[in-house]
Amino acid sequence: MTTLVKICGLSTPETLAAAAQAGADYVGLVHFAKSPRHLSLAEAARMRGLVPPQVKVVLLVVDPSPALLAEAVREVRPDVVQFHGQETPEMLARFRSDTGIAAWRALGVRDADSLAGAARFHGAADMLLFDAPASGLPGGNGTRFDWDLLRAYKAPTPWGLAGGLTPTNVADAIRLTGAPLVDTSSGVESAPGIKDVDRIAAFCKAARL
C-alpha cells in the first residue's frame, strides 16, 4: 500500500505548489494565532483556491468556538478539518454529522496507555493523527515520540504518524510503524514557519521509497 503524505503548515503559493508537484496527497493550512504557520481565514481561503483538485486540503484548528468553526468551513471549504486541541469525540461526531466534512483528531502519545486512550475516538473521527505530546504549541514542534509503540497497533479507525518526521527519517518511520499516512511540518522547514521546497520534495520522495 502506498503511504499517503501530508505537508502541513504551508503559507505561500510557492511551497504549496512544491508540495503538489512532489506528490503530496494532503496539504495543511493552520488557523491558530499562536503558531508561526498561522493563516487568517482570508489567507487560508486564498491558498485553498490554489490547490489542484487531486490534492486534499486540511484545515488545522485548535479548540474553535462553534461560530469560528462554521466561519472557517464556509470561508476555506476544506476537505478535512484537523482538530488539535481538547475536542471531544462527541464534538467531532456532531461536526461530521452537521457538515459532511471529514474530521481528523491529533493525539499526543506519551506511552502505551495514551495510545490505548485513542479508542474513545473510534467511530467519531475519520482519522487519528498520532503526534508527540504538546509542548508549548499543540503541534509542529519537531519532536517525536517512541515509534515502537506503533509496531503492533491495530484499530478500526485509520491513522497517521506525525511529530519529528524529516526527509532523513521518514522511510525508517514507515518501515517501523507501517504508518498509512505521514505528516510533516517543521521537518521540511529552514526556520519556524518557513517551508523549504527542496525539503518538501525530498520528504515526499523518501516516503514513497
Q: Which CATH number fits the domain that encloses residue 75?
A: 3.20.20.70
203: confidence class by pLDDT, cuts 50, 70, 90: very high
Distance of alpha carbon 69 from alpha carbon 92, whole angstroms = 12
Task: Say what the pLDDT of residue 135 is.
Answer: 61
Domain range for 36: 4-207
Give DSSP secondary structure letters for 45-56. HHHHTTS-TTSE
pLDDT at 35 over 70: yes
pLDDT at 118 over 80: yes
Mean pLDDT of 172-187: 96
Residues 158/127, Cβ–Cβ less than 8 Å: yes
Render pLDDT for 2-17 as a digit per residue (tens, 0 to 9). 899 999 999 999 999 9
Distance of alpha carbon 44 from alpha carbon 21, whole angstroms = 19
Task: Say what the pLDDT of residue 152 is.
Answer: 83
Task: Say what the pLDDT of residue 134 is.
Answer: 66
Q: How many helices (H) and strands (E) does the chain have?
A: 7, 10
pLDDT at 117 over 90: no
Distance of alpha carbon 161 from alpha carbon 128, whole angstroms = 9
**Is the pLDDT higher at 52 or at 116?**
52
Render pLDDT for 66-87 as a digit per residue (tens, 0 to 9). 999 999 999 999 999 999 999 9
Dihedral, CA atoms, 47, 49, 53, 57, nearest 10 degrees? 40
pTM: 0.93
Mean pLDDT of 116-142: 82
pLDDT at 142 over 90: no
Percent of the chain scoring above 70 in pLDDT: 95
143: confidence class by pLDDT, cuts 50, 70, 90: confident
Number of domains in the chain: 1
